[in-house]
Amino acid sequence: MILEGLVPKIHRRALLGATASFALAAPALAYPDRTVRIISGYPPGGLNDIICRAIAPSLTAVLGQPVVIENRGGANGSLGATAAARSAPDGHTLWMGIVDTQAINPYAYRNLAYDPDRDFAPISLIGKFPFTLVVGPSKPNIRTFQDLINAARPAADAITYASWGVASTPHLATERMVQQQGVRMLHVPFIGQAPAMQAILAGQVDCFALPAGGAESLTRGGGARAVAVLAPAEVPLFPGVPTVKSFGVPLDSGLWKAIYAPARTPAPIIAQLNAAVREAMKAPAFIEVMRQQGAVPEPSTPEWLGEFQRSERVAWGEVVRSSNALVD
């Protein structure tokens, strides 16, 4: 996806003006003075990678330094999160966190090498991405959500479902859904969203609850079918596709994404980055990518993001405990 050249150049003086309130409290910062990297905890091709690469060109224009993406997949984003947490707190390394890495992993992993509250400084929310449940070509006779549930009733594990890791949001959301319906399905974890999508199209796995943009790409050529939206309301990318709530399943599941810096990053840099991210999210090219993923930009203050993350940890902790989705 080529976005370079679509974002207007923004002079750094305009950005520095957003942090003028710090001028008397701290000396002028020569920041950034080199390339800024955003670490993504998942492989190329998935939603996290798409959003990182969508915001990088406009963030480059705002900061006046190159912004590059570094993919470090593995352990449901934990490897990338650990690397970001251990980076120098100088604003030149950022972290694209998601609900999995910031709210779920602390409960699911017994020996997690990072703490989302202690090791990261919040910068801004990026947005929220609803899930859609799709069925692949391995089950051509399943056309509706009720067909899927009926196919799972005769025998345990008769239907397989994909995720991008044990205790990931697709794993937990699907597990809650099947428990509420009184059936069982076999969980098949992958290292990222893109490999799981490939497995669905290849007929290796039967169904997958994934962000709406990825689901739309799976269904575009008729290789997969959307059978339900895992959100309270219909998703514009899937007009007419019912919500699971309409089938009596009280489930609201999806992803949120946010940008962080390592803890102890100076407050003036955090303020400058918050202003930069807010400006970058106004770029038409970025807004269009978000639309294609069934979302809209939702910038926030660092303080709001910190409170939101803590509330999400409480909510998802209950889900992990009830599902017993633990990783040694």
Last residue of a domain, one of 185, 215, 247: 247
168/109 same-domain check: no
In a domain, 1, yes or no: no
The 3-state DSSP class for residue 224 equals: coil
More confident residue, 6 or 93: 93
Number of domains in the chain: 2
d(CA 247, CA 58): 42
pLDDT confidence bin for 232, thresholds 50/70/90 = confident
Give yes or no for residue 314 having a pLDDT over 60: yes
194 belongs to a structural domain: yes
Per-residue pLDDT tens over the stretch 24-33: 333 346 899 9
Q: Based on the domain organization, do 114 and 143 belong to the same domain?
A: no
The domain spanning residue 43 has which CATH number? Answer: 3.40.190.150
Residue 5 lies in a domain: no
Q: Which residues contact 253 (CB under 8 A, 6 or more apart)?
A: 130, 131, 169, 172, 173, 176, 209, 230, 231
- What pLDDT shows up at residue 29? 62
Q: Point out the domain boundary residue: 195, 223, 247.
A: 247
Amino acid at 55: I
Domain end point (choices 222, 247, 272): 247
| Residue 76 falls inside a structural domain | yes
Q: Is 11 helix (H, G, I), strand (E, B) or coil?
A: coil
Helix axes 302-323, 169-181, angle to 10 degrees: 50
Residue 3 lies in a domain: no
Q: Tell me which residue of 317, 176, 73 sits closest to 326, measured CA to CA.
A: 317
The Cα 205–Cα 135 span in angstroms is: 9
Q: Is residue 139 part of a domain?
A: yes
CATH number at residue 185: 3.40.190.10
Specify the amino acid at residue 201. L
Domain co-membership, 122 together with 19: yes
Residue 147 buriedness (CB in 10 A; 0-12 / 13-18 / 19+): middle
Please indicate, yes or no, whether residues 86 and 143 belong to a single structural domain of this protein: no
Length of the chain: 328
Residue whose C-alpha is closest to residue 264's, from 134, 120, 68: 120
pLDDT tens profile 250-278: 878 889 999 999 999 999 999 999 999 99
Q: Which residues contact 283 (CB under 8 A, 6 or more apart)?
A: 6, 7, 8, 57, 58, 61
Q: Is 145 contained in some domain?
A: yes
Q: Are residues 172 and 185 in the same domain?
A: yes
Supply the range of the domain harboring residue 222: 130-247
Burial category of 196 from C-beta neighbours within 10 Å (exposed 0-12, middle 13-18, buried 19 and up): buried
106 in the same domain as 95: yes
Q: How far apart are CA 286 and CA 309, in angstroms?
A: 24
**pTM, two decimal places:** 0.85
3-class DSSP state of 111:
coil
Cα–Cα separations (whole angstroms), residue 225 to 9, 157, 186, 213, 214:
41, 20, 19, 13, 12
> Looking at residue 108, what is its pLDDT?
94
196 and 259 assigned to the same domain: no
Residue 43 pLDDT level (bands cut at 50, 70, 90): very high
Helix, strand, coil fractions of the chain, as percent rounded to 5? 40, 20, 40
Q: Does residue 275 lie within any of the structural domains?
A: yes
Note whether 94 and 65 are same-domain residues. yes
